[in-house]
Amino acid sequence: MTSFIDLDLSKGKDVISKHIYGHFVEHLGRCIYNGLWVGDDSPIPNTRGIRNDIVEALKAVKIPNLRWPGGCFADNYHWKDGIGPREDRPCMVNTDWGHVVENNHFGTHEFMDLCEQLETEPYICGNVGSGTVQEMQQWVEYLTFDGQSPMANLRKKNGKDEPWKVQFFGVGNENWGCGGHMKAETYAEKYRQYQTYVNNYSGNNILKIACGPSEADYHWTEVILRECMNETQQLKNSTHDKPIHSVWEYYRPQMWGISLHYYVRNRLKYTSATKFDESLWFEYMQRTLYMDELITNHSNVMDQYDPDKKVALVVDEWGSWYQPEPGTHPRFLFQQNTLRDALIAGVTLNIFNNHCDRVKMANIAQLINVLQALILTDGSEMLLTPTYYVFDMYKDHQDSTLIPLDLETRDYLFGDGNIPVVNASASRNQEGKVHITLCNLDPNRSEEITCNLKGENAISSVNARILTAAAMNVCNTFEQPEQIKPCNFDDIKAQENEISIVLPAKSVLAIEISFK
């Protein structure tokens, strides 16, 4: 059977935010220390302690934003411990991730320096679980106030005269779990209180993100939307002829987004990242596709309170989660990254693209040496994972207009289960080029695909890159760092407004189409 895709280029209206392609670093295992941060006295080439090769690799994939300091670590983190001379910073115990000693050498100034080197937007997660309202207010003031104040003066004393710009601020993390084990109603009250003091200083405009649900907790989403979002009708210029309750509604909490966390994993039995058979390939493809159901259902709840889609769904933790690699610390969450993870990334990003009317931001977990990492390091060595290459292949979707597609494809059958073979998304950039990203979830069979493009002149050129391998579990290692990487793909036929493809088994394909 041939799969069919119809694209009507006249129907695109929603923009795929570049922030869907965001990332996440936490004080966890070797993500920061012995990962991106080596210290300025390291023989590994660095700029003020931050590895140059990592910065170069991330800029190549157009990293749009970076979330920090957690994760669970955020709700144990007290930011004042991470400023000032490093030798004077107090140590703490990282109770979330292995009870190792955290020396706080990587703090606010180092993180903001990293974002400046990457030319990316910082996304800071504040401490609601064990922190105070004053602590959060002072952090925002320290970061963004341009003037005379206790926190601005402290920042200047620590070497930064001009304030930073901070666009995204998360008010807590996983407050239903490691961030305090709160009920939705309790957190809603906390959010209303804490966000009040996340102020806009000196022309900086912060987009506030509420802690959202874990997976399919639709009750949590409903409570937060009901209690914490702005009313649609607000006072504009005058209040003298408005009811008193309307004055109150005008000052209700502001919420730009609400988060969602979902990992592709089996909580009852974590399995190996590299040693798996087709049954586990199929299971993890099923679990990946579940993201579409989650986003659809949470969006439906949000639509009841926010039909105009003013509040963003922010999937700020997602990715695969397996057993840690043998011989590594079990709480450092270091895992390998195979072709299977490339498919997980490709399918998930296609899902985000297709829901870009509601999903405005996402952050894969995590950037380096933790969970579904883009980069692995070993001392001075660094390698790029299959997941990294998917982000590279998909980067042209950033800030492009989504082209809705009609997809007809066969099912991949395994045991009693079935899933669609082909997963796809498409966009059109400002130069008029169309980008289509395709995933073949069947590890055994290639798939013929015919794609019709309506509403444009005839095709003038087609270019494509593919990521695949002979086996499902192929990965890059420090002994063989380039076993799997993209290459040019020529098995495409184009005529007028139609392209034909033979998409190899277990592959990710990125196509660029230009028109006459």
Note the residue count of the chain. Answer: 516
- Determine which one of 102, 135, 317, 447 is catalytic: 317
DSSP notation for 171-196: E-S-TTTTTT---HHHHHHHHHHHHH
**What gap in Å lies between CA 443 and CA 493, rounded to an integer?**
23
Q: If we measure between CA atoms, which residue out of 122, 68, 74, 67 comes closest to residue 94?
A: 74
DSSP notation for 441-482: --SS--EEEEEEEESS--EEEEEEEEE--SSTT-B--SSSTT
CA-based R_g, the chain, Å:
23
Sign of CA dihedral 356, 359, 365, 367: positive
**What gap in Å lies between CA 84 and CA 163, rounded to an integer?**
16
317 is an active site residue: yes
Tokens standing for 358? 């509601």
512 is an active site residue: no
The answer to whether residues 314 and 209 touch, using CB atoms and an 8 Å cutoff, is: yes
**What gap in Å lies between CA 315 and CA 259, rounded to an integer?**
5
Which ranges of 217-319 does DSSP label H, i.e. alpha helix?
218-228, 244-250, 278-305
- Determine which one of 135, 174, 227, 447 is catalytic: 174
Residue 82 burial (10 A CB sphere; 0-12, 13-18, 19+): buried
The answer to whether residues 197 and 133 touch, using CB atoms and an 8 Å cutoff, is: yes
Q: If we measure between CA atoms, which residue out of 378, 383, 385, 388 comes closest to residue 34?
A: 378
Torsion of CA 109, 111, 112, 118, to 10 degrees: 140
Q: Please list the active-site residues.
A: 174, 317
